[in-house]
Structure 1
């Protein structure tokens, strides 16, 4: 007499997963609805195992759909989908889940995923358009959310993880996405504005160095955080950008998944040599606070340096105020102003497609006359005298370097913040 099959269970976040043995020997995990007690989960696992044996169930062949757990909702499936994406190392998975919880779950979260129709998806797109018109989100956020929803329904049909394939057809296929709005103009610095910013005696040397590195290396903030001295070849003047840091400080690939080596701007070499000597060539090149603080910090720095061009701070229907990421855009624009080969600009910037690079080239062609000399020599104050750890206010948790911004009220959008790093 065969041994009774009871299945096994394992806690997974807010729900239990049941594992059963199929006729072909495979042992898939099945997501049980949230709210089950341990006893109920064990009973359900036993029931599923007995049914699988009685029906001679096997794992679906590749390309076919798997049976969705009974009554699995869109929200429950998305949780499983997110877990699978995290296992694959997609660092954006947790952030994507937050976006779906905010916009998708109130509309379709409680609906069984196998019951979602094209009309349901079209109604969701209509909701996104309405929220944009009401000022609840930007059109770009709506478009990004729609891209995520389109992807999840596509994966529900043809995911590499077979247990995620629960739909025979994609209800989001050929559904028109949210309306697109005006693409806001980005801001960047002219050389005549950059030099006062990195020369200001009222700004700490750490902040000024961070601005210089972000501009002259044209790297993303997450890539700059990940740079170590092992990535900087001072003898040959070459830098290797091959990873970034996520919000938790864990290493991951660059945004586009590409690595790149390129020659360091000559004007940056004296600063890098000085910083290398100060650190002994060990550890991170520089520390940055997380992205939530960088844009506000940069605007405080610009105010302190008395940069008063209105476009740097304008935030309206057609313009976007300067952010830390725009220091990278500044460096890339300068490459185009200098007339560097377009393919070299694309490689140095790590762009996934040439269309992105072309945008910088077109901008450069329009403003080149009277722009000024790009990548000017950096002020000696960035490295002469250096900086010792004894000058930094420290605690067991945080080292902070205050940006002085006279005349700015605490709590305002431009109030100074600390440059933070984990001790």
Structure 2
């Protein structure tokens, strides 16, 4: 039985107390400032109890409390340190400051949509909003596993759509800039730069590459592992990340020569430190790739008025994809070589390149034949 009664608090304030019986037979109470709000709540609560999807506020944790439970589960599952750090950032910087105190039972689809709107208004990118929503959904799923909430309303919220006004083209060197970078690369670092340019490896995959992964007879490089920012080895980023990449003739000759000069270490790394250990991402940038760009004249003006390197190391991965597409490789083949989890990811990043192949210029000229006079 559900009832509403008027109640005067010791402070003299008047509230409306709604009472009902939950799905477990327990009597629940909740007060509201107006009778209209109490009525609306009881209608919703009765429907949820009847459908078996009601969680009383009194047994529901807050979003922050549920988030901490989720992170502890992630730690027990031994997720990579970089992944745990990213999840912690999502909770502490994006979720907790905005909805952390909200009861998990009150996370409705409209509340999630309002949360996303707030993130966007605060200057968060749409891509970041997508990632934060994935973490929020995982938080609710863990709470479901513990019996603390019945439904995951994050999944019912409107997806974060990419704005048609956003320029989503990845930043990468032009062909001329790429040539300048290669020409300016010292012999010591030429194998590393050419590998990035002609294989499209992620930085973590390059740093974890072993000589056992490089078949110099067949001319094939196999991606089987990666190294995170803490220099810990792990599997590729996804199942699709495990892949075989053919080596171009110049890269194959370069790697054969480099194997004879490569520092020897117990790990058998292709691009180790001088002592044979794992090279850090920061060192490759600051000691290798950034100076090469400055020497090549591929720079932007820094805040101090001095030239700064223009591109991140990941830009060479995008450049590799652009080179493959320019040579006529199919979208599916590019997806495989890049290690993308889906063909949609490939089209999202490089669709404009597939649409702008050079052979289209001749095709468009042919369309005009017989229709207009060429001057």
Does the alignment pair 1:82 with 2:77?
no
Query: 1:229 touches 1:281 (CA, 8 Å); kept in 2?
Result: no
Q: 1:361 to 1:64 in 2, by over 3 A?
A: closer
1:230 paired residue number? 212
Q: 1:139 to 1:109 in 2, by over 3 A?
A: same
Distance 2:186 2:58 in 1: 57
Distance 1:167 1:70 in 2: 9
| SS of corresponding position for 1:261 | strand
Q: TM-score, normalised by structure 2?
A: 0.66
Structure richer in helix, relative to its length: 2
* CA deviation string 1:111-146 (max 9, x = no partner): 4434544554343223213212xxxx3232223222
| SS of corresponding position for 2:222 | strand
1:67 to partner: Cα distance: 11
Query: 1:199 touches 1:208 (CA, 8 Å); kept in 2?
Result: no
Q: How does 1:292-307 map to 2 (within 5 A)?
A: 294=285, 298=289, 300-307=291-298
Query: 1:337 touches 1:365 (CA, 8 Å); kept in 2?
Result: no
Distance 2:285 2:227 in 1: 15
Q: TM-score, normalised by structure 1?
A: 0.59
1:305 to partner: Cα distance: 0.4
Q: Which runs of 5+ in 1 are unaligned?
A: 1-62, 314-320, 372-423
Q: Which of the numbers 328, 331, 338 marks the counterpart of 2:327?
A: 338
Q: Which runs of 5+ in 2 are unaligned?
A: 1-51, 273-278, 303-309, 362-375
CA RMSD of aligned residues (A): 3.6
Distance 1:95 1:292 in 2: 22
Q: 1:235 to 1:363 in 2, by over 3 A?
A: same
Query: 1:126 touches 1:178 (CA, 8 Å); kept in 2?
Result: no
Query: 1:129 touches 1:178 (CA, 8 Å); kept in 2?
Result: no
Distance 2:254 2:237 in 1: 27
Q: 1:204 to 1:340 in 2, by over 3 A?
A: same
Q: Which of the numbers 347, 350, 356 marks the counterpart of 1:360?
A: 350
* CA deviation string 1:152-178 (max 9, x = no partner): 224433xxxx43x42112232422245
Q: Which of the numbers 304, 317, 328 marks the counterpart of 1:328?
A: 317
Q: 1:178 to 1:130 in 2, by over 3 A?
A: farther
2:131 paired residue number? 144
Q: 1:212 to 1:67 in 2, by over 3 A?
A: farther
1:353 to partner: Cα distance: 1.2
Distance 1:366 1:227 in 2: 33
Distance 1:277 1:297 in 2: 21
Q: Which of the numbers 232, 247, 252 marks the counterpart of 1:250?
A: 232
Query: 2:169 touches 2:350 (CA, 8 Å); kept in 1?
Result: no
Distance 1:131 1:238 in 2: 46
Does the alignment pair 1:153 with 2:143?
no
1:268 to partner: Cα distance: 0.2
Q: 1:69 to 1:279 in 2, by over 3 A?
A: farther
Q: How does 1:95-244 map to 2 (within 5 A)?
A: 95-118=86-109, 120-132=111-123, 137-157=124-144, 162-163=145-146, 165-178=147-160, 180-181=162-163, 182-200=166-184, 204-244=186-226
Distance 1:306 1:82 in 2: 45
Distance 2:149 2:65 in 1: 15
Does the alignment pair 1:275 with 2:258?
yes
